[in-house]
Amino acid sequence: MIVENNVADGHFGEYGGRFVPEALIGALNELENAHISSQKDPAFLSELAELHRTYTGRPSIITEVPRFAEHAGGARILLKREDLNHTGSHKINNVLGQVLLTKRMGKKRIIAETGAGQHGVAAATAAALMGLECVVYMGEEDTRRQSLNVARMKLLGAQVVPVTSGSRTLKDAINEAMRDWVTNVADTHYLLGTVTGPHPFPTMVRDFHKIIGEESRTQVLALTGKLPDAVLACVGGGSNAIGIFHAFIPDAGVRLIGFEAGGDGVETGRHAATISGGSPGVLHGTRSYVLQDENGQTVESHSISAGLDYPGVGPEHAYLHDIGRAEYRAINDNQAMEAFSLLCKTEGIIPAIETAHALAGAMIIGKEVGPDATLLINLSGRGDKDVQTAAQYFGIPL
Euclidean distance between CA atoms 89 and 106, whole angstroms = 28
- A 10 A CB-CB count for 31 gives 23
- Please, which residue, 54 or 295, has the CB nearer to other proteins? 295
Q: Which of 176, 239, 380, 385 is catalytic?
A: 380
- Please, which residue, 21 or 370, has the CB nearer to other proteins? 21
Query: In angstroms, what is the minimal distance from the CB of 254 to other proteins?
Result: 33
Check the CA dihedral 345-348-350-356 and report its sign. negative
- Please, which residue, 291 or 363, has the CB nearer to other proteins? 291
8 A C-beta contact, residue 385 and residue 356: no
Query: In angstroms, what is the minimal distance from the CB of 239 to other proteins?
Result: 20
- Please, which residue, 47 or 322, has the CB nearer to other proteins? 322
Query: In angstroms, what is the minimal distance from the CB of 325 to other proteins?
Result: 24
Answer yes or no: 380 catalytic: yes
Query: In angstroms, what is the minimal distance from the CB of 136 to other proteins?
Result: 17
Euclidean distance between CA atoms 174 and 398, whole angstroms = 32
Q: Which of 32, 113, 141, 215 is catalytic?
A: 113
Answer yes or no: 113 catalytic: yes
8 A C-beta contact, residue 331 and residue 360: yes
In 132-254, where do the E strands start and end? 133-139, 159-163, 188-190, 230-235
Q: Which of 60, 82, 89, 91 is catalytic?
A: 91
- Please, which residue, 26 or 131, has the CB nearer to other proteins? 26
List interacting residues with other proteins (CB under 8 A).
1, 3-7, 17-23, 25-27, 165-166, 171-172, 175, 178-179, 182-186, 281-285, 290, 292, 294-298
Residue of 281, 275, 309 whose CA lies nearest to 295: 281
Query: In angstroms, what is the minimal distance from the CB of 115 to other proteins?
Result: 15
What DSSP string runs through 254-272? SEEEEEEEEEEEGGGTEEE
Active-site residues, by number, are: 91, 113, 380
